[in-house]
Structure 1
Amino acid sequence: MTSESPYVLIAEDEFLIRMSVVEDMRDADFHVFEASNAVEALALLEAHPEIDTLFTDIDMPGSMDGLALAKAVRELRPDVMILLTSGYLRVALNDLPDQFPFFSKPYEIGRVINHIRGHLTQ
């Protein structure tokens, strides 16, 4: 991997989905961290300032869902690019914050990877 490779945090509670996304992003030469909930994600972001991208599921168990995680990360680390995903959206698409790109499940991982690469090369 080059030093220009993105550092991506995947926050996804579904193990098989997370495993697949992590593998695909590593195959794309991304540095990848993974969390199964928002608490783990926030701890990883605090411990690893090199993380520049968060790709989070909206529907996650625990005290904080992916939208709350995204908002907390925006306040704590405004430099982090945030992407949202969901297979079952409880929030209307119109109610999603504009600054967070949304990828509906099932998504094409190539689109997500290209979006991250495109954003980080701007």
Structure 2
Amino acid sequence: MSAFCVFGMTEPLAKTLAARKAPPKKVREKMTAQELNEWYAERAATILKSSKPRQVSPEFDAPQFCQDWIDLAHKTVKANGLRVMFRGPKPDGSINKRTGKPLMAWLPY
């Protein structure tokens, strides 16, 4: 059975990633609360535009459910580069040395 999911970047995920890193301590000590919030907002906007795509949806059984998820995401939040991916064997034919089975990866649908 194949698994499908959506990869890309959404605004809530970008804000979460931006909150993980703070500005340098010397700069942060001089910033007001409003300036710090603006710094986090700018960082989130940068992440939204240029970050590596990540899995943003749960796994679904069929690609049409992923498309429904994408449509809903575009209506409710800012999103960038959303696309449907499926779980399949790596195209380079890599084999797991321990099990002898092909290595699996997320591939574009």
TM-score with structure 1 length normalisation?
Answer: 0.25
Greater gyration radius: 2
Of structures 1 and 2, the one scoring higher in RCO (CA 8 A, sep 6+) is 2
TM-score with structure 2 length normalisation?
Answer: 0.26
